[in-house]
């Protein structure tokens, strides 16, 4: 025979037990964990932190810094990389609308092969991809974007960056340290400088015209220069 509890009806005891179990379960649940977060937005298209990490490493490795494959990336490197990643997308906004600046046949394959060649062996390359939860398609997309962005800027600005022989001669005459440098080398140097200045202006203009937002730890600090 079961003992009766005249002072605590069954329904009340059941509800009380359920509340205790619910409270215990709530406290037992692990705290929410941030898996990823947005670090930038361009015309509403979000760049996630994991995406930035991978693209930064790819760009650094492609430039010769293979140590970036697995080394931690500090805030300064990530900030510089985010600006480069945003600039690439800005350079391609118009090109994408016009479906312009397609790569030549085999160009992407050569870029991938050169990238793989930065690693000491194929195993190391595969480990790089798996460590950052990426595959060959992700790598191809980053390299393709980089190649097309450079081509778009070249196509738009290279002609305006040209320097005449006369300009190069005047520049060399005004810089004694260049007096023994061949004129064509001086001219090439000036073209590259002018092209770099034009690129900076083009991208700065795009940033003013396009809705670009840096978010989280990359958002502009109050009082900092834009």
Note the pLDDT tens digit of each residue in 87-139: 999 999 988 888 889 999 999 999 999 999 999 999 999 999 999 999 999 99
184 occurs within a structural domain: no
- Structural domains counted in the chain: 1
85 occurs within a structural domain: yes
- What's the confidence (pLDDT) of residue 23? 41
Q: In whole angstroms, give the CA distance from residue 98 to residue 182.
A: 41
User: ∠ at Cα 183 (178, 187), nearest 5°?
Assistant: 95
206 occurs within a structural domain: no
23 occurs within a structural domain: no
DSSP 117: T
- What's the confidence (pLDDT) of residue 183? 95
96 occurs within a structural domain: yes
32 occurs within a structural domain: no
Q: In whole angstroms, give the CA distance from residue 89 to residue 45.
A: 10
146 occurs within a structural domain: yes
- What's the confidence (pLDDT) of residue 170? 96
- What's the confidence (pLDDT) of residue 94? 86
* Kind and range of the H or E run holding 45: strand 45-48
Is-above-0.85 flag for pTM?
no
Segments forming the whole domain that contains residue 76: 38-157+212-218
Instruction: Collect the ranges in the chain with pLDDT lower than 70.
Output: 1-35, 222-226
- What's the confidence (pLDDT) of residue 190? 97
Contact between residue 69 and residue 115 where contact means Cβ atoms under 8 Å apart: no
191 occurs within a structural domain: no
Buried/exposed code over 25-55 (b: 16+ C-beta within 10 A; e: otherwise):
eeeeeeeeeeeeebbbebeeeebebebbbbb
Dihedral sign computed on CA atoms, order 218, 219, 222, 223 = positive
Q: In whole angstroms, give the CA distance from residue 226 to residue 215.
A: 14
- What's the confidence (pLDDT) of residue 18? 42
């Amino acid at each position: 025979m079961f003992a009766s509890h005249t002072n605590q009806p069954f329904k009340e005891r059941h509800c009380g037990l359920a509340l205790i179990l619910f409270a215990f379960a709530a406290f037992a649940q692990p705290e929410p964990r941030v898996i990823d977060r947005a670090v930038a937005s361009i015309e509403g298209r979000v760049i996630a932190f994991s995406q930035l990490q991978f693209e930064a490493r790819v760009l650094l490795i492609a430039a010769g810094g293979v140590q970036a494959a697995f080394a931690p990336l500090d805030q300064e490197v990530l900030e510089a990389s985010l600006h480069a990643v945003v600039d690439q997308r800005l350079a391609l906004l118009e090109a994408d609308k016009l479906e312009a600046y397609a790569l030549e046949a085999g160009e992407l394959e050569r870029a991938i092969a050169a990238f793989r060649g930065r690693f000491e062996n194929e195993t190391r390359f595969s480990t790089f991809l798996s460590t950052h939860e990426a595959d060959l398609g992700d790598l191809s997309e980053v390299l393709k974007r980089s190649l097309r962005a450079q081509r778009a800027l070249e196509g738009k600005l290279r002609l305006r960056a040209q320097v005449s022989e006369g300009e190069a001669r005047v520049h060399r005459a005004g810089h004694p340290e260049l007096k023994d440098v061949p004129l064509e080398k001086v001219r090439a140097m000036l073209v590259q400088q002018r092209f770099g200045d034009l690129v900076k202006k083009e991208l700065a203009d795009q940033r003013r015209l396009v809705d670009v937002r840096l978010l989280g730890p990359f958002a502009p600090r109050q009082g900092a220069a834009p």
